[in-house]
């Protein structure tokens, strides 16, 4: 293929829509699933103390030994299983670069994080959707979709945008079957802190085909710093860590990661706070006669007609929500992040006014 033909093919890949304020700094942001309490003061103080000429002018340490030790302790694995990344998306791309073969099929539950499909298309693969039923992933349906052209599988747990989980037992069964078929699976655990009992990181050293991505963006509120990591068996991690971009972790992301254990109390308090507020929001939304899905994450999905218009009307009231009609498999709906009680009450009030006058 000529470079012109390649550019023509790549130009057909659509951009992925995301939440976030963008140019709406004055708006109350329910569109991004980021900790409303973060980042913790201890990290802010550490960053302020380390903004020095040398930190800015010198290359960061690429061995990342202390960072790997800290992240390994945070999730309870061996440091040789950790692959640090510039946000979890960089690691997801590393997985795609490694395992998505041109003209192969890649199974992706639908709806889910839109970047998976984009990465598959960039690699010349074909995304194969497995539709969720009432927000639930059907493992048997995933298995039925496997063919001799299947190169790998992407799966988010908890799901985004529904917040539903696949229980650990079901995931283990899936991984074991895929292992026998030599098919790798990426399990994206970006929101797993709110359902830690279903995490598979502890099993990564038992299955070479099991690769897990984790994010620090959501739980400690450091989206601007960009820090994530992957976890896999030591054998696989050795290869993936060698493939990651040199100097992919900047000096300040490194500082945050090396001190993540100091944030344990903050993380635990966040989980309790968000869980309480999520239940509050869920009940108040149901009282407005809205169809809201139970969630195991820090957000809720509302099935509602004409979601672009709902988003627009809420925007006029100073509130940003995520219109989910851009997700494959969703005709209309909005996703709302769980925030503080005061902010959640503002959202409820705005929705009540829109829906009931």
Q: What is the CATH number of the domain that holds 318?
A: 3.90.1150.10
On whether both 226 and 80 belong to a single domain, the answer is yes
Average pLDDT over residues 338-345: 97
What's the confidence (pLDDT) of residue 1?
Answer: 80
pLDDT recorded at residue 59: 92
| pLDDT at position 21 | 67
Domain C-terminal end among 201, 235, 262: 262
186 and 107, same structural domain?
A: yes
Burial class (CB in 10 A: 0-12, 13-18, 19+), 289: exposed
pLDDT digits (tens, 9 = 90+) for 135-179: 899 999 999 999 999 999 999 999 999 999 999 999 999 999 999
Counting the structural domains of the chain, the total is 2
One domain for residues 76 and 179: yes
Across residues 267-281, what is the average pLDDT?
Answer: 96
Residues 91 and 227 occupy one common structural domain: yes
Task: Give the pLDDT band of residue 54 (cuts 50, 70, 90).
Answer: confident
User: End of a domain among 243, 262, 281?
Assistant: 262
Please indicate, yes or no, whether residues 48 and 193 belong to a single structural domain of this protein. Answer: yes
Confidence bin at 24 (pLDDT 50/70/90): low
CATH at 206: 3.40.640.10
Question: What pLDDT is recorded for position 172?
Answer: 97
**Same structural domain, 252 and 281:** no
Residue 171 shares a structural domain with residue 306 = no
> What are the CB-based long-range contacts (under 8 Å, 24+) for 169-177?
170/139, 171/198, 171/200, 172/200, 172/203, 173/139, 174/139, 174/142, 174/143, 175/200, 175/203, 175/207, 175/209, 175/210, 176/207, 177/143
Residue 262 has what pLDDT?
94
One domain for residues 73 and 101: yes
Do 192 and 231 sit in the same domain of this protein? yes
In the chain, % of residues over pLDDT 70:
99
How confident is residue 71, by pLDDT bands cut at 50, 70 and 90? very high
On whether the CB atoms of residues 228 and 75 are closer than 8 A, the answer is no
As a whole-number percent, the residues of the chain with pLDDT over 90 amount to 89
DSSP code per residue over 241-306: HHHSPTT-S-HHHHHHHHTGGGGHHHHHHHHHHHHHHHHHHHHHHHHTT-EE---SSSEEEEE-SS
Are 48 and 62 in the same domain? yes
pLDDT band at 23 (very low <50, low <70, confident <90, very high): low
What tens digit of pLDDT does each residue of 187-218 get?
999 999 999 899 999 999 999 999 999 999 88
Statement to judge: residues 60 and 205 lie in one domain: yes
- 22: confidence class by pLDDT, cuts 50, 70, 90: low
Domain boundary among the residues 236, 262, 288 is at 262
**pLDDT tens digits, 87-146:** 999 999 999 999 999 999 999 999 999 999 999 999 999 999 999 988 899 999 999 999
User: Which structural domain, as residue segments, surrounds residue 29?
Assistant: 3-39+264-356
User: Do residue 22 and residue 168 come from a single domain?
Assistant: no
Mean pLDDT over 50-59 rounds to 87
């Amino acid at each position: 293929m000529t470079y012109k033909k390649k550019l023509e093919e790549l130009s057909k890949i659509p951009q992925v829509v995301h939440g976030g304020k963008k140019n709406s700094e004055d708006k109350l942001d329910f569109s991004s699933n980021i900790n409303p309490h973060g980042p913790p003061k201890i990290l802010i103080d550490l960053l302020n103390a380390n903004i020095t000429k040398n930190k800015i002018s010198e290359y960061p340490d690429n061995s990342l030994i202390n960072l790997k030790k800290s992240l390994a302790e945070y999730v309870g694995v061996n440091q040789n299983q950790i692959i640090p990344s510039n946000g979890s998306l960089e690691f997801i791309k590393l997985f795609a670069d490694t395992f998505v073969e041109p003209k192969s099929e890649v199974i992706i539950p639908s709806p889910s994080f839109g970047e998976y499909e984009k990465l598959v298309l960039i690699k010349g693969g074909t995304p194969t959707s497995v539709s969720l039923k009432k927000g639930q992933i059907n493992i048997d349906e995933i298995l039925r979709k496997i063919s001799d052209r299947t190169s790998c599988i992407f799966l988010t747990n908890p799901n985004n945008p529904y917040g539903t989980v696949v229980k650990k037992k079901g995931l283990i069964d899936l991984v074991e079957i895929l292992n026998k078929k030599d098919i790798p699976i990426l399990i994206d655990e970006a929101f797993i802190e709110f359902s830690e009992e279903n995490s598979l990181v502890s099993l990564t050293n038992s299955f070479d085909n099991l690769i897990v991505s984790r994010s620090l963006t959501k739980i400690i509120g450091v989206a601007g710093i960009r820090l994530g990591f992957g976890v896999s068996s030591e054998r696989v991690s050795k290869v993936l860590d060698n493939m990651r971009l040199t100097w992919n972790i900047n000096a300040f992301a490194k500082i945050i990661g090396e001190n993540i254990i100091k944030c344990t109390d903050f993380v635990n308090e966040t989980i309790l706070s968000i869980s309480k507020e999520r239940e509050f929001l869920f009940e108040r939304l149901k009282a407005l006669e809205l169809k809201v899905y139970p969630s195991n994450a820090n957000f809720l999905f509302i099935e509602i007609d004409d979601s672009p218009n709902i988003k627009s009307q809420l925007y006029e009231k100073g509130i940003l929500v995520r219109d989910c009609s851009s997700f494959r498999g969703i005709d209309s709906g909005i996703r709302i992040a769980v925030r503080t009680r005061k902010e959640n009450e503002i959202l409820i009030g705005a929705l009540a006014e829109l829906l009931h006058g």
